[in-house]
Chains A and B, each alone.
Chain A
Amino acid sequence: MPREKFRTLTEQMFYVLLCLKEECCGMDILDRVPEMTAGRVTVGSGTLYNLLEQFLEMDMIEETKVEGRKRSYLLTQKGQEMLDREYERILAQAEDYRRTFERGM
């Protein structure tokens, strides 16, 4: 069964939204995500373009500035809630991992 759209976020979705905690344009996101993650996560240019379109459609981000073709975006309240939910899920996973391996100690 296909995953419900944005029910859980992939790493790339997570970091794109994280970048948009502050106003940021699309091309800067392409550079910031690998910087933030020490090169561990990269977002393809095509994937980023489509993600921004979908996030806009779902009101997870909003367009704040348009300078020619350069568009800047910012996280909305809904986007923040989805990031928070994903963060809680990751924490819960990490806690399950910690408890499982500490039981053996």
Chain B
Amino acid sequence: MKDTKRRFELLSFYNHTGIERHFEKMAREGWMIERLSNLGWTYRRMEPADLKFTVTYYPKASEFDPNPSEGQMTFHEFCEHTGWQLACTWFQMQVFYNENPDPIPIETEPAMEVDNIHKACKANYLRSYWILLVISAVMGGLFLVSLFKTREVLPDSLLEDPNMMVTGIIWTILALYCGVELFTYYRWHSRAEKAAEQDIFLETPNTVGFQKSMMVLVTILAVYWLASFLFSETPEMLPIGIAVLVSIFGAQLLGERLKRWMRKKGVPTGLNRFITLLTVFLTVFLATGVIVAVGVILEQLK
């Protein structure tokens, strides 16, 4: 029996209510969260236990910090003083658990909690989604405009070029996904601020259902895209297509490993961030370029 397992969880970064409930459920089933990353959440086997989890946020933390800052360690010690053990951290997110069934909560002032979450989200989550929304809205918009211009639901040109169709639809889906995430966050934030004025904690919303449906749609499109190569005049391009996807995933994995290695070596935050992002960008750029060049050469040799 394996002692660890990795899962991809569709829980938004700020959805602390959903994340806490999920970790408590996993603990009852005998799994303790060990590490959070963009490539999945890793759980470690343990004796099933009824633990209380709290997900809180330390806005000044960074995923590229070589060590927790003095302030962050003081924060952890304060939490430990009331029985909260640190399970793991991820960007500004700090995950604690407590064996006491009725512990003093880490956050006891709603206004302060909402403010903290917003500061943490502004540091990373919101910025990333806004950038992605702008890029995908432009790309998706161009695709929809080109559809509109032909006045056909599925123009022949798109049917002949599944690449263009699938890419266009995926950009549109990505824009929709980012838009829904941002809208849901800002709506919760506005309501949570009002509730905090009445000293009420407002639970964070769940978009798991919406995210799952987007994942299913993207998976269907990816399968269609790959299958289209088999029935095209150039089936030998299928390995090229797969290689592009693998290289994108590989770049993410390389970036994650490199970031963790630099953290262990004590590389300063700014330098770690710069090298990691540059490495990921260059890897994707070069790998895609090489793969496409190989594809073109193979095509010409035919």
Interface residues of A (CB under 8 A from B): 2-3, 10, 12, 26-27, 30, 42-51, 69, 71
Contacts and interface: CB of A to CB of B under 8 A. Distances in A.
Given A2-B193, A30-B78, A47 B70 contact: no
B75 A46 contact: yes
Contact of B116 (A42, A50, A69): A50
A46 B74 contact: no
A48 B78 contact: yes
Contacts of A43: 108
Instruction: Please name the 9 residue pairs, one residue from A and one from B, whose CB atoms are nearest each other, closest first.
Output: A44-B108, A45-B78, A46-B106, A45-B79, A47-B108, A47-B109, A27-B81, A42-B104, A44-B106
B53 to A, nearest CB: 14
Contacts of B116: 46, 50
B197 A27 contact: no
A40 B108 CA distance: 13
A43 B197 CA distance: 18
Nearest to B199: A10
Chain A CB within 10 Å — which of B73, B74, B111, B112 has the most? B112
A98 B173 CA distance: 63
Interface of B: 56, 70, 73-75, 77-79, 81-82, 84, 104-109, 111-113, 116, 193, 197, 199
Given A2-B193, A30-B78, A30-B82, A45 B106 contact: yes
Contacts of A50: 112, 116
12 contacts: A3-B197, A12-B108, A27-B81, A44-B104, A45-B78, A45-B79, A46-B75, A46-B112, A46-B113, A47-B113, A49-B78, A50-B112
A71 B109 contact: no
A104 B107 CA distance: 42
Interface residues of B: mostly helix, strand, loop or mixed? Answer: helix
Contacts, number: 62
B108 A69 contact: no
Nearest to A42: B104
A10 B108 CA distance: 11
A76 to B, nearest CB: 21
Interface residues of A: mostly helix, strand, loop or mixed? Answer: helix
A44 B112 CA distance: 11
Contacts of B112: 46-47, 50-51
B81 A44 contact: no
Contacts of B78: 26-27, 30, 45-46, 48-49
Nearest to A13: B109
A12 B104 CA distance: 13
A71 B74 contact: yes
B109 A10 contact: yes
Contacts of B107: 44, 46-47
Contacts of A49: 74-75, 78
Contacts of B106: 44-47
Chain B CB within 10 Å — which of A10, A12, A51 has the most? A10
A71 B79 CA distance: 15
B99 to A, nearest CB: 16
Given A3-B197, A45-B82, A69-B70, A27 B108 contact: no
Given A45-B79, A46-B78, A47-B108, 12 more contacts: A10-B109, A26-B74, A44-B108, A45-B78, A46-B75, A46-B113, A47-B106, A50-B112, A50-B116, A51-B112, A69-B74, A71-B74
A17 to B, nearest CB: 14
